[in-house]
Chain A
Amino acid sequence: MRYEIFKQDAPNQPHSNVGSVHAPDAEMALMHARDVYGRRPNAVSMWAVPESEIYATSHEERTKNQEPRTKSQEPEAQGSRLKAQSSKLMAHGSSPTSYAVFRKTSQRRSMTYVAYAGTVEANTPEDAVTAAMHKFPNPTTFVWWVCPEAAISKTEAEATPSWFEPAKDKVYRQQAYYGDAARQSRRQRTELVSKLMGDETQDEA
């Protein structure tokens, strides 16, 4: 099964989607996620959600494709694989459920995709998106993801030191650790190019 992974970089920051992992259950998904997305010292917590529990919709889909699509109507290659494919997801519809809301609000280059905004109560995923639009208004929301809050598996707070802190000691994973060689090499390059171009002034710059 494929799990979408959300990583929190610091206690005051939202969990943001970093990618996915394949695992037979949520516990192993979190273990893989630590190895795949937690090798650098900027994680304090991770969440894993089965992709089948996530309802995803983009601003483009909501404005351009007014006809609702179901998974069977769309060619495999055409739409988000996350979208409305789970009967389990729809079965939540009978009574109000708490949905976690994630969204993408920027087009700037980034390592992460949708970030956690909060929760809404709704009967269906589509209602959850509508509720989220009211509760978390933002004129530049490009993508919404909602999933039942109960579908999120989380790393435990007590586990944080043993799971994420060892990455901090591995300073040789940081480029700054090799600073001397790199600085020397950059200086030599500048000197050589200056010499080749007969430009003495560059040395002083």
Chain B
Amino acid sequence: MTQATDITLKLAEFETRIARGEKIEPGDWMPDDYRKQLIRMISQHAHSEIVGMLPEGNYITRAPSLRRKMVLIAKVQDEGGHGQYLYHAAETLGISRDEMEQALLAGKAKYSSIFNYPTLNWADIGIIGWLVDGAAIKNQTMLAHCSYGPYSRAMVRICAEETFHQRQGKEMIVKYAQGTSNQRQMAQDALNRWWGPVLMMFGPHDSDSPNSEVLIRWGVKTQSNDTVRQLFLDEVVPELMAIGVQIPDPQLRFDAESKHWKHGPIDWAHFWQVVKGNGPMNKERLAARNQAHDNGAWVRDAVTAYASRK
């Protein structure tokens, strides 16, 4: 048997397994491109969890009550844990933790652009929980069906934990929307700044998403970017309208025929600028991550020294 037919056969078997709903596990045969795409997606996802601690972490000392502070600490700690689940999942594909960490610290790795925006007022923490985590949950629920076992399992665990992140944010914004005029203004201001970037979290439109087709065929993604974005819109638009905040999109409308909410144009030129590193906080996030890594060096040295002396 030639090598080429051997690969064709293996690929056919691989795709049959996925069609049967089997999970692909470490050690099973998989096409190189499946491995590469998964390493790309999972490591970016892991970095997003780690960098995602920064915009909220800086509010822990400024939380307005002990209850909000405990909730925020628990949430940020969860994000750190989620990064660990995902680095583990990526490692099963043959990339080392060190490689991923170095790529992030050197600014070579990508992470979700949503974390390159500043948190300017306390209500941002509520909007991030409700909308940013809400959008992430939609995406992660889809990825929990992923054909790669370790990624799917990480997603199931993350989704189970993350629903509290979204709920605490929603609770905060619902209360502010019923609160004083200052509180209502804070909630509105946060929504105005986050709404556009949140819609971008689902990625480019399907027509501009070159990887999507093969990712869907191999069961890595099970729904397209636009499909997941629509699910999110249909859920949050009426909820936001019901509490009396204004969604900053004059073209947003309910299409009675399709029964879906339709958003106005998304500023993709801006999106690509942020992806390329020119967003409002890209440099600060990278600097903060490097500083945290450097500040932790003595701890890593100490535990290694302790273990070697036993």
B250 within 8 A of A: no
Provided the pairs A142-B25, A143-B25 are in contact, do residues A185 and B152 lie with their beta carbons within 8 angstroms?
no
Contact among B25, B70, B164 with A104 in the assembled complex (CB-CB below 8 Å): B25
B92 within 8 A of A: yes
Give Cα A124–Cα B239 distance, bound, in whole angstroms.
Answer: 60
Contact among B74, B167, B241 with A178 in the assembled complex (CB-CB below 8 Å): B167
Chain B residue contacts of A178, Cβ below 8 A = 164, 167-168, 170-171
Contact B88 A61 (CB under 8 A): no
Contact B145 A60 (CB under 8 A): no
Within 26-57 of A, Cβ neighbours of B (below 8 Å) are at 28, 35-37, 39-40, 56-57
B85 within 8 A of A: yes
> Binding site of B, secondary structure by majority: helix, strand, loop or mixed?
helix
Contact B67 A172 (CB under 8 A): yes
> Binding site of A, secondary structure by majority: helix, strand, loop or mixed?
mixed
Contact B26 A185 (CB under 8 A): no
For residue A27, give the distance in angstroms from its CB to the closest CB of chain B: 8
B213 within 8 A of A: no
Q: Which of B103-111, B154-162, B202-210, B290-298 contacts A (4 or more CB under 8 A)?
A: B154-162
B28 within 8 A of A: yes
Contact B164 A109 (CB under 8 A): no
Contact among A18, A79, A175, A185 with B242 in the assembled complex (CB-CB below 8 Å): A185
Contact among B13, B29, B145, B150 with A109 in the assembled complex (CB-CB below 8 Å): B145
Contact A35 B170 (CB under 8 A): no
Q: Which of B52-60, B76-84, B182-190 contacts A (4 or more CB under 8 A)?
A: B76-84
Contact among B27, B306, B310 with A56 in the assembled complex (CB-CB below 8 Å): B27
Contact B308 A24 (CB under 8 A): yes
Contact among B25, B156, B304 with A110 in the assembled complex (CB-CB below 8 Å): B156
Considering the complex, give the chain A residue whose CB is closest to the CB of B83.
A36
Give Cα A113–Cα B175 distance, bound, in whole angstroms.
Answer: 41
Considering the complex, give the chain B residue whose CB is closest to the CB of A28.
B303
A80 within 8 A of B: yes
Q: Which of A93-101, A152-160, A192-200 contacts B (4 or more CB under 8 A)?
A: A192-200
Contact B85 A196 (CB under 8 A): no
Contact B161 A188 (CB under 8 A): no
Provided the pairs A25-B307, A113-B153 are in contact, do residues A193 and B25 lie with their beta carbons within 8 angstroms?
no
For residue A75, give the distance in angstroms from its CB to the closest CB of chain B: 8
For residue A134, give the distance in angstroms from its CB to the closest CB of chain B: 22
Considering the complex, give the chain B residue whose CB is closest to the CB of A33.
B84
Q: Which A residues fall within an 8 A CB radius of B?
A: 2, 18-25, 28, 35-37, 39-40, 56-58, 60-61, 64-65, 76-83, 104, 107, 109-113, 142-143, 170, 172-175, 177-178, 180-182, 184-186, 188-189, 191-193, 196-197
